[in-house]
């Protein structure tokens, strides 16, 4: 009986396109259901056509899933019973599983989300007055190994599927009771700034961001969905063909020598190349008044000196930017230290005097390790990088013990 088909590990058809013949699949009684959660409108339409149904079913199902928070076909009441039964046999709406939810005293909420292969990723909701910003992960770990980043130290396992990415928004919306008609909107902004480099998981990230902005789904404005990249230039060059979301560039240094140290991908795609590509993206947006955000993590005595601020101001002239300064959040495997308040103020003043809108990201969710750069999840590391870092930490602890 096909009703007893057991879904296998997350396998989102978005990864392979929807061209597979679902009727054939049903006939063959394959043991894999199509997870509709991560499908864009176009892919969902293709899915319904492939099972001999009308395209408009896609709109109905999108609304049920992403506006009403329904994951049970039986509750999709404007769909005929026969179609619901058919869907139950071949498809599912399967969000990822929350294994832990932590609430900070300041209102920040962190979700630890189980993904296949023994790993977990983190998603954080940061409330701030009327605004609620959800920081979403795109990969299990990260392959880029930025020297100041906790995620980078975890190594890399795999890309998240589109269902796992949009599933983070779905789960957060559910936990705040946001689904349903006339409910207050808690998630007002989404930033692709969690674990992973979004542009290295291009298709799934683009599909997910477009679902966030889609009128039949979460309906977020394109000004409220932001992709943050450390600089995968070839992918950034393509981005404008697929989305018009906001862009943030994780710069963290005003020159290549320093950035090579902090953000190793800079050796491949240096600053000039990255800023040119980012500028083209911003200039190509339909509304040409938007600015890109430059993220700059300030690390004590590393990149926080006044001459760095002057160099940054010079570097960014002629580019439409606002600058977001992020005080480094220390974590176990790092020797870097947090910028001092004085150095932070001086740095900000120099940029403001140079004419830049410059904000400082306040640390939120410290008590639950949810601050920027601290998302670590649990990565079943395929790169052995985490082992290397653990050994380094062990060696330095041992060295201190011997000296003492």
- The answer on whether 329 is annotated among ligand-binding residues is yes
In SS3 terms, 219-239 reads as CCCHHHEEEEECCCHHHHHHH
Q: Using an 8 Å Cβ cutoff, are 274 and 231 in contact?
A: yes
β-pairing, 91-92 vs 97-103, is: unpaired
> Closer to ligand SF4 at the Cβ: 18 or 195?
195
Number of residues that bind ligand SF4 (CB under 6 A): 12
> Closer to ligand SF4 at the Cβ: 22 or 370?
370
What is residue 299's DSSP assignment? B
83 binds ligand SF4 per the rule CB under 6 A = no
Nearest distance from residue 358's CB to ligand SF4, in Å? Answer: 20
Nearest distance from residue 106's CB to ligand SF4, in Å? Answer: 23
Q: Please pick, from the candidates 95, 155, 196, 327, the single residue that binds ligand SF4 as defined by CB under 6 A.
A: 196
User: Which range binds ligand SF4 by CB under 6 A, 23-31, 80-88, 115-123, 195-203?
Assistant: 195-203
By C-alpha distance, which of 295, 228, 262 is closest to 152?
262
- The answer on whether 149 is annotated among ligand-binding residues is yes
Told to judge if 246 belongs to the known catalytic residues of this protein, a careful annotator would answer: no
Residues with Cβ within 8 Å of residue 363, at least 6 apart in sequence: 327, 329, 371, 372
The CA R_g of the chain, rounded to the nearest whole Å, is: 22
- The answer on whether 251 is annotated among ligand-binding residues is yes
Told to judge if 372 belongs to the known catalytic residues of this protein, a careful annotator would answer: yes
Residues in the chain: 404
> Closer to ligand SF4 at the Cβ: 70 or 146?
146
Q: Which two tokens stand for residue 8?
A: 């296998």
Q: Using an 8 Å Cβ cutoff, are 108 and 365 in contact?
A: yes
Q: Which two tokens stand for residue 166?
A: 């949009």
**Which residues ranging from 132 to 151 are in contact with ligand SF4 (CB under 6 A)?**
142, 144-146, 149, 151
The string of DSSP letters for 381-402 reads -SSSHHHHHHHHHHHHHHHHHH
β-pairing, 189-192 vs 156-159, is: unpaired
152 binds ligand SF4 per the rule CB under 6 A = yes
230 binds ligand SF4 per the rule CB under 6 A = yes
Sketch the per residue contact string, 40 through 79, with ligand SF4: x for CB under 6 A, - otherwise: ----------------------------------------
Chain centre distance of CA 404: 43
By C-alpha distance, which of 17, 21, 22, 18 is closest to 2?
22
- The answer on whether 252 is annotated among ligand-binding residues is yes
User: Which range binds ligand SF4 by CB under 6 A, 84-92, 191-199, 335-343, 377-385?
Assistant: 191-199
262 binds ligand SF4 per the rule CB under 6 A = no
Annotated binding site for S-adenosyl-L-methionine: 196-197, 228, 250-252, 329
Can you say which residues are annotated as belonging to the binding site? 142, 146, 149, 196-197, 228, 250-252, 329
Kindly list the catalytic residues: 122, 372
Binding site for ligand SF4 (CB under 6 A): 142, 144-146, 149, 151-152, 195-197, 230, 250
Residues making up the annotated binding site for [4Fe-4S] cluster are: 142, 146, 149
């Amino acid at each position: 009986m096909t009703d007893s088909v057991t879904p296998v590990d997350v396998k989102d058809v978005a990864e392979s396109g929807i061209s597979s013949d679902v009727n054939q699949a049903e006939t063959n009684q394959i043991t894999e259901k199509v997870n509709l959660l991560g499908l864009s409108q176009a892919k969902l339409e293709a899915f319904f056509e492939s099972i001999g149904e009308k395209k408009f079913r896609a709109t109905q199902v999108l609304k049920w899933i992403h506006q009403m928070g329904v994951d049970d076909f039986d509750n999709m009441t404007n769909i005929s019973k026969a179609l619901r039964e058919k869907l139950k046999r071949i498809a599912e709406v399967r969000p990822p599983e929350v294994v832990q939810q932590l609430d900070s005293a300041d209102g920040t909420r962190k979700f630890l989300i189980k993904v296949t292969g023994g790993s977990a990723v983190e998603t954080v909701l940061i409330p701030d007055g009327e605004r609620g910003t959800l920081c979403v992960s795109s990969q299990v770990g990260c392959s880029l190994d930025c020297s100041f980043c906790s995620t980078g130290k975890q190594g890399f396992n795999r890309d998240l599927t589109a269902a796992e990415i949009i599933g983070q928004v779905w789960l957060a919306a559910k936990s705040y009771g946001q689904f349903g008609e006339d409910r207050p909107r808690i998630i007002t902004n989404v930033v692709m700034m969690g674990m992973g480099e979004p542009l290295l998981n291009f298709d799934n990230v683009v599909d997910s961001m477009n679902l966030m902005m889609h009128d039949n789904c979460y309906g977020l404005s394109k000004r409220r969905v932001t992709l943050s990249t450390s600089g995968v230039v070839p992918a950034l060059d393509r981005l404008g063909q697929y989305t018009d979301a906001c862009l943030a560039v994780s710069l963290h240094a005003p020159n290549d020598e320093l950035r090579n140290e902090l953000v190793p991908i800079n050796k491949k795609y240096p600053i000039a190349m990255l800023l040119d590509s980012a500028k083209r993206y911003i200039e190509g947006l339909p509304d040409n008044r938007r600015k890109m955000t430059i993220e700059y993590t300030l690390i004590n005595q590393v990149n926080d000196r006044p001459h760095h601020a002057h160099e940054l101001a010079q570097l960014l002239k002629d580019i439409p930017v606002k600058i977001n300064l992020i005080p480094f959040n220390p974590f176990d495997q790092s020797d870097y230290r947090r910028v001092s308040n004085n150095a932070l103020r001086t740095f900000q003043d120099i940029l403001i005097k140079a004419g830049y809108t410059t904000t400082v990201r306040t640390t939120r969710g410290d008590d639950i390790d949810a601050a920027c750069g601290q998302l670590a999840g649990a990565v079943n590391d395929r790169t052995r990088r985490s082992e290397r870092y653990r050994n380094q930490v062990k060696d330095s602890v041992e060295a201190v013990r011997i000296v003492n």
